[in-house]
Amino acid sequence: MTIDRKLQESIVNVPPIGPIAAHPDVNEWFISEPHQIKCLLGHVVQFVFDGYIDDDRKADYHRALQNLIDLDSSVLAAVEPYVTQYCNETLDLYDDQDRPHVSIQQPSDVWKYVQFGTEVHISRRAHGDDEDGIYFSLECNCDWEPEHGLVLVLRDGLEVTKVGPYDGHLTNSDAYADPNLKNVIFKSFCA
């Protein structure tokens, strides 16, 4: 879909974050000003919207954004076991001489080796889901997996619903074409 040129040049107000404008690189996307997000330990990101302009239920985005803004860093603490498992499984694949220096004494140490991305992509799932939620996808760099990094996906701005290597999918169910993985946060690749 190509967005009308006049709309591309306009600025759209999105409660609760304010104005978004046409993304400079992708015609169908819109991008916000930078925002500091407390659930990401105060990291500053821009929101990139995919599908918002043509969506008939924009209030879903507004509600999810407010949820995310209100969320604290306990959301990261809740997924530390999954991120640590992803880290450890990846480190086990290295030869000793190539293994990155990552030392996790307690689960919260894992965040020392993660560099949060600068853009949070916001969209609905391509094939929808039961509740047709709003998904926030943040690509991060991590010291243990320089090629595929780490993705954190939050559903409706309430909780992290997927962690693992970035694969372009919002759920493990979509990534593996398996509806049984609907509620799986991290899909082990060693099992």
pLDDT digits (tens, 9 = 90+) for 80-111: 999 999 999 999 999 999 999 999 999 999 99
**What gap in Å lies between CA 22 and CA 8, rounded to an integer?**
5
141 by Cβ neighbours in 10 Å (0-12 / 13-18 / 19+) ranks as: middle
Which tokens is 137 given? 């996808």
**Torsion angle, CA of 167/70/119/102, rounded to 10 degrees?**
-60
pLDDT of residue 9: 59
pLDDT of residue 132: 74
Q: Give the burial string for 92-130 (b: 16+ CB within 10 Å, else e).
A: eeeeeeeeeebebeebeebbebbebbebbbbbbbeeeee
Tokens 């493990």, residue located = 172
- How many residues comprise the chain? 191
| Contact status, residue 12 vs residue 62, Cβ threshold 8 Å | no
Is 0.85 surpassed by the pTM of this model? yes
**What gap in Å lies between CA 138 and CA 122, rounded to an integer?**
9
Average pLDDT over the chain reads: 92
pLDDT range class, residue 4, cuts 50, 70, 90: low
pLDDT range class, residue 8, cuts 50, 70, 90: low
**What gap in Å lies between CA 81 and CA 129, rounded to an integer?**
26
User: Does the pLDDT value for residue 5 go beyond 60?
Assistant: no
**What gap in Å lies between CA 122 and CA 83, rounded to an integer?**
21
Q: Convert the pLDDT of each residue in 140-156 to its tens digit.
A: 999 999 999 999 999 99
What share of the chain has pLDDT > 70, as a percent?
92
User: Does the pLDDT value for residue 3 go beyond 60?
Assistant: no
User: Does the pLDDT value for residue 123 go beyond 60?
Assistant: yes
pLDDT of residue 116: 98
